[in-house]
Structure 1
Amino acid sequence: MPTDPPDAPDDAANPLLASLQRAVEATPDDVALRLHLADLLVEAARGGEAVAHLAAVLQRDPGSSRARELMATALAPPAPAAPAEPDPTARPSGFDWQAAESDLGEVVAPMFAESSAQESEVAAYDVEGSRITLADVGGMKEVKKRLNAAFLAPMRNAELRQMYRKSLRGGLLLYGPPGVGKTFIARALAGELGAGFMTVSMADVLDMYVGNSEKNVHELFETARASAPVVLFLDEVDSIGHKRSRMHSDHMRSTVNQLLLELDSVASDNEGVFVLAATNHPWDVDAALRRPGRLDRTLLVLPPDLEARLAIWESHLRERPVAGIDVKKLAKATDGYTGADIAHLVESAAEIALLEAAESGTVRMIGQADIEAALRELRPSVGPWFETARNVALFANDDGSYDELLTYLRKHRKL
C-alpha cells in the first residue's frame, strides 16, 4: 500500500517541516495541511517530495487551483546556475613541483587490502517484520484457503494441532507465471502469523568458491531457526534446486544436497520455520526437494481474478492525481494481466499525463483515456509462460502434480 514520502535527511535542521510531516502522516486526509506542507517543500527546493503531496491533494480536491500552481512549479526544471566568479586570490598557472616534493617529505607507498581466494564474505540475512496480512491480498480465495490449511489453522489451534499430531514442519512451493504476487503472498502470510519474514534470492546464496555456497545455505537456516517463528521465503528456488541430473558441476550438486539436509533438519530443529519457496519453472526443480517434510505441498498462483484486479487497480491509482477513472471497467478489461502488468499500465498512463503537462506547462489529471491508450500498447506478459506450462501439463503430468494447472488451462480454453 503506498505511503507518504519519508522525511528528508535535513528535516532535523528544519523542525517546522519535520513537525508538518508527522502531522500529515497522522491526518492524511487533511487537504489544507498537505497543501501548506507542499508549499513549504517547494520553497525549500524539494519539489520531488512536494509532487507526491500535491498529487494526494488533487485526488481529494481536483479543483484546487493552488495545488495545480504548486505542481507546475515543482515540476519545472531548476534554473541554470550562475557562472562562478574568478577567485582573485588564486595562484597563477605555474606550479613549482620541486618545492612541492620537498614539502611532502618521504613518500608513503599505497596500501591494498589483502584478500584470499579461499574466503568469501557473506552478508548477514535480515529478519523483517510484515505489516500486511492476507486481508490486503485481493481475491485469490483458493490460495488463501490452501495457506490456511497448511499454516494458519495449525498455528492458531495449538490444542487441535497436538491432538491430531500436526507438525509445523514442511514447506510450500508457490509456482506460476512471473509477476502474479508470489512474494507479496509470502509477506502477507508472515504478517498473518505474526512471524518474522526473511526473503532470500538464491543468487545471494550461490558463491563461485567451492564450499561457500553450502556454508551460506547453512547460515541462512541457522538464522531462521534462531528467529522462529519466521517465514523463510526462497525466491527463484529453481536456480539452486535445479534437477541434479541436469547439472554438470559437482559443486552445484553439493549445494542442492546441503539445501536438502537443512530442510530435513537432521542436526537441527526446524519447528516454527515456515519455508515458502517460489519458482516460475517448477518442472526444473529437483524432485527430492518436493518429498515429504521438505517442499511437500505445491500451490499454483495464477493471474489475479476480477476481485483481485479491482483491488490492484485501486491500490496503484491511490495517491495519484486521477479523475474520471472507471476502475470496474478496467478490472474487466484486464483479464489475464498480472499485478505487475497492471502496475506497468498505471505507470505508462502517468507518463503520458506527465509528459503532456511538462510540454504544455499545465498540470492535468490522469484520465481514463490515458489508461486506455496504455492498454492499446501493452499486452499481458504471461503468454510465453503458458505456452511452456501447457506442454508440461499435457505431456509431463504422470503423477498429477499439474492437475490444478490443467484444470485452469481447460477452463480458460488455453489448450
Structure 2
Amino acid sequence: MADDQVLTDMLTMLDRSPEVLALRVCVIELLIERERYADALAHCGTALGHEPGNAQVLGLMMRCTTALSGSPAAASVPETAAPAPSSAATAQPDFDWAAAEDEVGDIIEPAFVRGVPTEFVTDDDAATVERPALRLADVGGMVEVKRQLELTLLGPLRNPELAKAFGTSARGGLLLYGPPGCGKTFLASAVAGELGAGFYPIEITDILDIYTGASERNVHSIFEMARRNAPCVLFLDEVDALGHKRSRMHASTTMRTVVNQLLTDMDSATHSNEGVFVLGATNHPWDVDVALRRPGRFDRMIFVGLPDLAARTSILHYHLRDRPVAGIDLNTLAADTDGFSGADLAHVCTSATQLALADSMRSGQVRPIGMADVRAALAQIRPSTGAWFESARNVVEFANGDGSYDDLATYLRRRKRR
C-alpha cells in the first residue's frame, strides 16, 4: 500500500510538472517494477518528446517493449541501453572550421551542457562531490545573469568585510528560475568553479524513496554530506517538484514531510551551514512553498532567460564542432533562432545531423552537414518554451503584487517589442 501511495504521489507531482524528465523517469521505473509495461511505455514516449534520444529513456523503452512481446529476456535488458552509433556518424572528413572558430572565439560550452572537466572528491560515505574547472567566463553570453550572480552571491563572498559593513551576507539560498533548457544547472556548476568549491547536484530521484521516512533521511544525509565537504555548492534541481506548496498536498503526507525536512535543514537556527551555498533551480518558482522563500532559505531569485545572440552562437558551435560540417554560417543561424532555448538548439543540431547521416548512408559516403540540413531541421522544430511564457505572463499580471517577478516582467516587455 505504501508503494502504491508513493507512485500516486509521484504521478500527482508529474501532473503539476510534466516537463521534469528525472521525475518521469522515476515514474517509469516504478511502473516497470509493478509490471505495468503499457503505462510505462506511454510515459517513455512522452519523455522522448521532451528530450529525443535520451539514452536512459531508450533503455527503459526497450525493457517495456521486450516485456510486452513476452520475451524472457526483459529482465536482462540494461536500463541505460541505447542504440549503438552508426560508423558513418563517426567518420570525420577534412573540412575547414577555421572561419567559424574566428567568429566564435574559444570553444565555449553552452550553459546547459553537463560534462565539464572535473576532479572528484569522495568521502567515507562513497558519495561524490565534483570540483568543476568551469568558470562564469566560460559561459557564453548571459551578461545580465552573470552580473546578478556577482552582485548577490559572489561579491559578498569575495568581500566579507565590505559585506559586513553594509549589513549584508551571502547566507541563505539562491534560486535560479526561468524557462526549461536554458542553462540553470550549468550556471550553478560555474558558480562552484568561481568559488573553488565542491559541486553537489541533487535531483528529486536522489531524495524520494518508497519506504516511510526514508525520503526525509535522504534530505538530511544530503545536507550532512555538503557540510562535511564545505566549501560546497549544494544544487537542488527542480525545486518546484520537491518543495511544492504544502497547501496543495492534502493527500500527500509523504511530500509534506519531505518539504518540512528540507525547511529544517536549510534553517540556520537548527543547523550550521557555514560554507554550504545552496542553489536551487526551478521552472515554476510560483509553485514553490512560501516557507522556502523566506529569509535564510531561497530568499533571492535570479531570472535565467532564453539564450541571447552570443549564447546561441556558442551553443550552435558546440553542438556542431565535432561533426563533419561545410558552409555553416553560425552568425546567420544564431540570428534566425531568436526564441529558441538551449535544448531547442541542441535538437536542431541533432536533427540536421540525422538528415546528413541518412543521406550519407544512402550514398555510402560521408556528406558533411550543410546549411540546407539545418534549415530543414528549423522548418520542423518550433521553440518549446511557448507554454512556459504563457504561464509566466499570467503570473506577472495577476500574482506579482510584492514585486518578486519584476525582472521577469521587464524581460517580457522587452521581448514583446522585438
TM-score of the aligned structures, taking structure 1 as reference length: 0.70
1:386-397 aligned at under 5 Å gives the runs 386-397=389-400
* Counterpart residue number, 1:11: none
Shift of the alpha carbon at 1:285?
Answer: 0.4
CA contact (8 A) 1:203 1:239 kept: no
Partners of 1:395 and 1:378 lie apart in 2 by 31
1:223 aligns to 2:260 (yes or no): no
1:329 aligns to 2:332 (yes or no): yes
CA contact (8 A) 2:234 2:277 kept: yes
CA contact (8 A) 1:59 1:320 kept: no
Partners of 1:334 and 1:170 lie apart in 2 by 37
Superimposed CA distance per residue, residues 75-117 of structure 1 (whole angstroms, 9 cap, x where no aligned partner): xxxxxxxxxxxxxxxxxxxxxxxxxxxxxxxxxxxxxxxxxxx
Shift of the alpha carbon at 1:166?
Answer: 3.9
1:254 aligns to 2:257 (yes or no): yes
Shift of the alpha carbon at 1:250?
Answer: 2.8
Residue from 19, 30, 55 that aligns with 2:92? 55
* Counterpart residue number, 1:101: none
Residue from 135, 142, 149 that aligns with 2:151? 149
Shift of the alpha carbon at 1:136?
Answer: 1.7
CA contact (8 A) 1:59 1:319 kept: no
Residues 288 and 311 of structure 1, relative CA distance in 2, 3 Å threshold: same
CA contact (8 A) 2:198 2:231 kept: yes
* Counterpart residue number, 2:170: 168
* Counterpart residue number, 2:300: 297
SS at match of 2:130: coil
Superimposed CA distance per residue, residues 286-329 of structure 1 (whole angstroms, 9 cap, x where no aligned partner): 01101111000011111111111111111111121111111000
Shift of the alpha carbon at 1:124?
Answer: 5.6
Residue from 205, 212, 236 that aligns with 2:238? 236
SS at match of 1:150: helix
Superimposed CA distance per residue, residues 146-165 of structure 1 (whole angstroms, 9 cap, x where no aligned partner): 11112211222244344445
Partners of 2:200 and 2:350 lie apart in 1 by 29
Range moving further from structure 2, 363-372 or 265-274: 265-274
* Counterpart residue number, 2:387: 384
* Counterpart residue number, 2:194: 192
CA contact (8 A) 1:225 1:273 kept: yes
Range moving further from structure 2, 381-390 or 266-275: 266-275
- Write the letter of the residue equivalent to 2:291: A
CA contact (8 A) 1:56 1:319 kept: no
Partners of 2:360 and 2:88 lie apart in 1 by 13
CA contact (8 A) 1:172 1:298 kept: yes
Partners of 2:236 and 2:211 lie apart in 1 by 21
- Write the letter of the residue equivalent to 2:207: V
Residue from 353, 356, 380 that aligns with 1:353? 356
Residues 352 and 49 of structure 1, relative CA distance in 2, 3 Å threshold: closer
CA contact (8 A) 1:56 1:320 kept: no
* Identity of matched residues, %: 58
CA contact (8 A) 2:174 2:280 kept: yes
CA contact (8 A) 2:313 2:330 kept: yes
Residues 312 and 149 of structure 1, relative CA distance in 2, 3 Å threshold: same
1:66-215 aligned at under 5 Å gives the runs 125-215=127-217
- Cα RMSD between the aligned structures? 2.4
Shift of the alpha carbon at 1:54?
Answer: 4.6
- Write the letter of the residue equivalent to 2:229: S
1:281 aligns to 2:287 (yes or no): no
Q: Which consecutive unaligned segments of at least 5 residues does structure 2 have?
A: 1-83, 99-124
Partners of 1:259 and 1:363 lie apart in 2 by 53
Partners of 1:374 and 1:299 lie apart in 2 by 32
Partners of 1:183 and 1:347 lie apart in 2 by 21
- Write the letter of the residue equivalent to 2:92: A
Q: Which consecutive unaligned segments of at least 5 residues does structure 1 have?
A: 1-46, 62-122
TM-score of the aligned structures, taking structure 2 as reference length: 0.70
- Write the letter of the residue equivalent to 2:130: E
Range moving further from structure 2, 150-159 or 293-302: 150-159
Residues 124 and 166 of structure 1, relative CA distance in 2, 3 Å threshold: farther
Partners of 1:365 and 1:240 lie apart in 2 by 44
CA contact (8 A) 2:313 2:334 kept: yes
When Rg is computed on C-alpha atoms for both structures, the one with the higher figure is: 1
Partners of 1:266 and 1:58 lie apart in 2 by 60
SS at match of 2:215: helix
Residues 386 and 48 of structure 1, relative CA distance in 2, 3 Å threshold: closer
Superimposed CA distance per residue, residues 9-61 of structure 1 (whole angstroms, 9 cap, x where no aligned partner): xxxxxxxxxxxxxxxxxxxxxxxxxxxxxxxxxxxxxx969878752854569
SS at match of 1:127: strand
CA contact (8 A) 1:154 1:166 kept: yes
Range moving further from structure 2, 329-338 or 183-192: 183-192
Range moving further from structure 2, 209-218 or 334-343: 209-218
CA contact (8 A) 1:238 1:284 kept: yes
SS at match of 1:267: coil
Partners of 1:51 and 1:188 lie apart in 2 by 35
Residues 48 and 244 of structure 1, relative CA distance in 2, 3 Å threshold: closer
